[in-house]
Amino acid sequence: MAGQQTVTDPNTSIPDYEYREVNSTVFHIGAFRDEWLKRLKPSDYSYVEEDDDTFEDNFVKEMGVSAETVAELKSICSLQSLRCHPEDQQPDTDVVPPDSTLKTLIQRKQRRDIKAKKGIKNRHDLYADELDHFIVSRNSEAVTDMVPEGEVILTINIYYPAIFDKFLSKRPHMTLQVTGSHFLTDLRDAICCVSDLQVGGEFSSTPDVAPDFICKDVFKSAFFFFEGVFYNDMRFKECQDISTTIIEWAKERNFPPYSQAKMEETQFVDLKIKVGFPYMYCHQGDCEHLVIITDVRLVHRSDCLDKKLYPLLTHKDRVLTHKCAVCNVFIGRWLTTNDQLAPSSPCLFCDKCFQMLHYDAKGNKLGDFQAYPYVDPGAFN
């Protein structure tokens, strides 16, 4: 592959490119963090901002200039010198000048005009505003349990399962931030997948009997796969080591040996990973998600410092909902097969259309068909 670099020692704490602009070489997250803490001064990653006097003193020492030169630079490069209007006549920042020549302002005005014609915001805009408000509110100073200084933060993309849709599986379903002290089970519990909400069983004879369980309550086994190690979730007695089958299959075909570990006993600082490399999260037997760690860095004072909010959701994709095949208004809640009353097999119905079409006034079943509760992927919107 073009741009391939020499692979360095897998135990190194300083990652390098394995494939340029694609992924790094293998490195240990804990050693990577420790290496940064050795090279940086405590003031570099401290949450306490430097005051003006301390900043000026450090600037004089590092740049080798006099204090008079720093004072002159402050007066010339200050924000006040960039003001294009009197200080007592503050302009309205929400009003875009109609005769502006800046491309950014022209595009901003076009978007504002389009939104003004619509009159109301769509669900996508409302959701984006909700995330923005959450981002602002999460940096509150009244934080009781703060992320410690020098902690490492990982940005992780979780993709749609491969069995879901060929197009959607190439887009990240959600983006999460976790700290190095989090366990892999914390990430597993934060991942939202429609497979966990499905209800197993056929309920055409008893559609009014609401099942009191979902697949996540019954099939609790899952694993992450990072760099030849299967991290299995073994927190509950119902959990099984579902990676054993893969390991035995690999042994029979002379693949490199794989190892196993417990998800609930492994922190992110214990992992060896490649940034930008696709790994896997598997649950519900064969529901497989790509997991790509896109960034590993030290926490900054501008980050969310409330440890209780992590794993922190920073992006969530939205998908179209599947409507009822009859009314095309409400979201599908039932999926039928071998249904002579349906236009296709399988077919989706909302609750009302399903009951009216397949049962009489006394609730007796009409015809021979199978009905399964259906959870729409749009439930996570």
pLDDT of residue 35: 92
Q: Which residue has the tokens 């055409």?
A: 204
pLDDT of residue 275: 94
Q: Please give the class, per CATH, of domain 146-316.
A: alpha beta
pTM above 0.85, yes or no: no
Q: What is the pLDDT along the chain (381 residues), one digit of tens a residue?
A: 333 343 344 457 788 888 888 899 999 999 999 999 999 888 888 887 767 777 777 788 888 888 888 888 888 887 777 776 777 777 777 777 777 788 888 888 888 887 777 665 665 566 666 665 555 555 556 677 888 999 999 999 999 887 655 555 577 889 999 999 999 999 999 998 888 888 878 888 888 876 777 888 888 999 999 999 999 999 998 898 989 999 999 999 888 889 999 999 999 999 999 999 999 999 988 889 999 999 999 998 888 888 888 999 888 887 788 899 999 989 899 999 999 888 888 999 999 999 999 998 888 888 889 999 888 887 766
Distance from C-alpha of 266 to C-alpha of 261, rounded to nearest angstrom: 8
Q: What is the pLDDT of residues 280-293, one digit of tens each?
A: 999 988 889 999 99
Q: What is the pLDDT of residues 200-257, one digit of tens each?
A: 788 888 888 767 778 888 889 999 999 999 999 999 988 989 899 999 999 998 888 8
Helix (H) or strand (E) holding 18: strand 17-19
Name every residue whose Cβ is closer than 8 Å to that of residue 73 and which is 6 or more positions away in sequence.
none
Distance from C-alpha of 225 to C-alpha of 184, rounded to nearest angstrom: 11
Q: Which residue has the tokens 């599908």?
A: 332
pLDDT of residue 3: 39
pLDDT of residue 324: 92
Q: What are the φ/ψ torsions at residue 323 (nearest 5 degrees)?
A: -85, 165
Distance from C-alpha of 184 to C-alpha of 180, rounded to nearest angstrom: 10
Helix (H) or strand (E) holding 266: none
The amino acid at residue 330 is F
